[in-house]
Each structure stands twice: as C-alpha cells, then as structure tokens.
C-alpha cells in the first residue's frame, strides 16, 4: 500500500497542525489565525445518571454557519483572510479544536455538594479534503483509505496521553445533526473516562461476543453488502429506522490492527454506506457516524464496529428524540429493521 507522509507544522500558538497525504507537504505557510484564548473546561458528576457532564463555556463563541467564501476549514493561503490551514492545498489536516470540551489546560472548579474534575483530554478536528464540498461519498476511494490511516495514527498517538482513557473518531453530517461548518470534516475526542455507551459495550463483550453470535444473520437476513473482511448490516436491534453498522467478520479490537487489505475493504464499506444514504434521499443525507473501538490497543474480546445514525423516522421524516428517548432512554421505533433492509438494499449501489 502506498506510503503515507505526515507533517507536523507548529502553529503560532505552539500547537501542531498535522498534514497527512500521499505526497510530502513542504509548502511555506501563509498568514495564520490570531491566537485565541484557550478554553479551561471542567466536568461535573451527574449522580442521577452516573455520568460525567463536561462544561466548556467558550464553545458558544465558536464559528457558526459562515458564508462559503469565509470557511475556516478551507486552505487559506490564497484567500483574503486566514483560516485554520494556512496553505494553498492539503490532503487531510488534523488540528486541536479551538473550542475544546477536553484539553490539557482544563482546570477544576469547586461547588458545594457537586463532584467535579478538570476535563483533561483532547479534542481534534479532522478535515477530509481541501475541497469545500468533497464529502466521503464524492471522494476517490484512495482518499477514504487515507482517512482510515489518519484515524489509525490518531488512535495510536492519543493513547500515549495518560489523561486519555477513550478515543472516539466521529462525524456529524448535516445541520440536522448539529453541524455548523459545511466543509467535510469530522472530530476526534480523547475522553478522560470511558463514555457510558462504550462502558456498556465493554461489559457486554466481556460476557459474550454478541456480534459473532449473530454474524450469520448479519451476513444473510440483515445484510446490505459484504466483502471478505466486513459486513454492512442493519442491526436487528436498531434504534433508528435506517441505522447501519459496519462489522468485521472476525473479532478485532480496532483499526490499528487492520491489514492493508482490511483498510481497503473498510474504506470501501464506509463510502458505500454514505453513497447509499445519499441515493436513498437523493441529496446529502444527514447522519452521525462513530467508530466503536476498544479502549485498549490489545483486547481479544471487544469487537470493533462503526455505527451510522441518520436522524430519520421514516423516509425523509425527521426522528426527534422526544419524551421516551430523552427522558427514559427507551427508543420507540416506527420501522422494523427487516423492512429497512429491503428499503436500503435498493440504494446500495
């Protein structure tokens, strides 16, 4: 597989912008953004739900819905204003989120009767392309493979930080999913704790690999697509009408264990899912995508998988997390997973 190059560019705020690509990146930088005040987030323990809530008040000042010509994720060297990436071109860029919910400079606050901690960790932005409208469904497959390799790099590097207990690469696509910048990008959160949903998965996999147990059903009854390494499937216990999972056919803890062939197969599956959603709605479909990997680089029980949640109830009707979902955590479904398979399979070109 083609060699990947990585450039560590030291910004004016002493933080690093990482540039990944098939080609070496030597370009001199242009004008950089002004140094912004670094957030000092903190966490408070919610005893009613047994979970941490992080607070970062500076996030309300983050860039929101700028005009296309003032996009902060576009290459800025040839523009009349500075951006996060002070070059004329790049392939994939990664940099610290200026409005992070977790970072190394977080501090604690003290409130009577409230358990609190500093929000140690990291939040990174990963920009998929220099092209403003170049989403996963429209990229050449080689770029998606590069994206997978960048995820692998960030898993390995972020887990070297002793404050980080869990790494989650994810993408919010579309305004319906909270996106405020339309340039194709995702995020990587390095949490100082294992998130509740992952903790539940960890406990489940310790008892039994439920994915291997139902693999034959995933490959047949709920199958949308499969190759030698992965199955693209609608889980029989889906909480969204058109929820899709990408699941390795054999247990593997995370992408850092992928072979070159698995990287290619995985990238192809990711792009195929996004194209399916776009074909289904005949437009860029909103979704949340998250990579569920083990918190340990060596783990023979956790089964890596990717989950896609399009916020749709039926057809193009929106799914709102209302009373039962928000207050009780119990999802109410209108469409059976078996129906979703027959619907989406027509669009899995």
Q: Which residues are catalytic?
A: 185
SS3 call for 252: coil
3-state secondary structure of 189: strand
- Mention every residue, 6+ apart, whose C-beta is less than 8 A from residue 305: 211, 245, 246, 247, 248, 292
Distance CA 326, CA 321 (A): 6
- Inter-residue contact 281 to 275 (CB < 8 Å): no
Partnered with residue 197 across adjacent β-strands are: none
Phi and psi angles of residue 274, each rounded to the nearest 5 degrees, phi first: -65, -40
Residues 243 and 319 sit within 8 Å (Cβ to Cβ): no
Q: Which residues pair with 187 in a beta bridge?
A: 125, 170
**Beta bridge partner(s), residue 188:** 124, 169
- CA nearest neighbour of 104 among 93, 112, 96: 96
Structure tokens at 99: 């409005």
Which SS3 state, helix, strand or coil, does residue 313 take? Answer: strand
Q: Which neighbouring-strand residues pair with 167?
A: 190
What is the rounded distance in angstroms from the CA atom of residue 301 to the CA atom of residue 305? 13
As a whole number of angstroms, the distance between CA 338 and CA 349 comes to 19
């Amino acid at each position: 597989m083609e060699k990947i190059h990585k450039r560590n560019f030291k910004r004016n705020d002493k933080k690093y912008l990482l540039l990944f690509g098939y080609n070496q990146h030597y370009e001199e930088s242009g004008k950089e953004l002004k140094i912004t005040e670094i957030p000092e987030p903190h966490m408070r323990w919610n005893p009613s739900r047994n979970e941490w809530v992080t607070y970062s008040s500076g996030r309300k000042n983050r860039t929101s819905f700028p005009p296309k010509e003032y996009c902060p994720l576009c290459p800025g060297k040839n523009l009349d204003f500075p951006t996060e990436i002070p070059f004329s071109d790049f392939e994939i860029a990664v940099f610290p989120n200026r409005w992070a919910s977790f970072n190394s400079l977080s501090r604690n606050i003290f409130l009577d009767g409230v358990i609190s901690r500093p929000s140690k960790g990291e939040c990174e932005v990963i920009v998929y392309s220099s092209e403003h409208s170049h989403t996963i469904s429209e990229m050449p497959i080689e770029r998606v493979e590069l994206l997978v390799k960048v995820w692998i790099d960030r898993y390995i590097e972020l887990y070297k930080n002793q404050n980080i207990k869990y790494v989650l690469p994810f993408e919010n696509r579309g305004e319906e999913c909270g996106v405020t910048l339309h340039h194709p990008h995702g995020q990587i959160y390095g949490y100082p704790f294992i998130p509740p949903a992952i903790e539940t998965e960890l406990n489940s996999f310790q008892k039994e690999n439920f994915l291997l147990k139902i693999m034959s059903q995933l490959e047949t009854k709920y199958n949308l697509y499969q190759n030698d390494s992965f199955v693209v499937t609608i889980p029989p216990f889906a909480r969204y009408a058109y929820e899709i999972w990408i699941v390795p056919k054999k247990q593997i803890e995370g992408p850092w264990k992928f072979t070159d062939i698995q990287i290619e197969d995985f990238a192809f599956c990711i792009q195929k899912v996004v194209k399916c959603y776009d074909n289904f709605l005949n437009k860029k479909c909103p979704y949340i995508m998250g990579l569920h990997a083990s918190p340990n680089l060596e783990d023979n029980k956790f089964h890596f998988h990717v989950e896609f949640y399009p916020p749709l109830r039926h057809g193009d009707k929106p799914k709102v997390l209302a009373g039962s979902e928000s207050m009780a955590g119990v999802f109410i479904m209108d469409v059976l997973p078996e129906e979703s398979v027959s619907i989406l399979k027509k669009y899995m070109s």
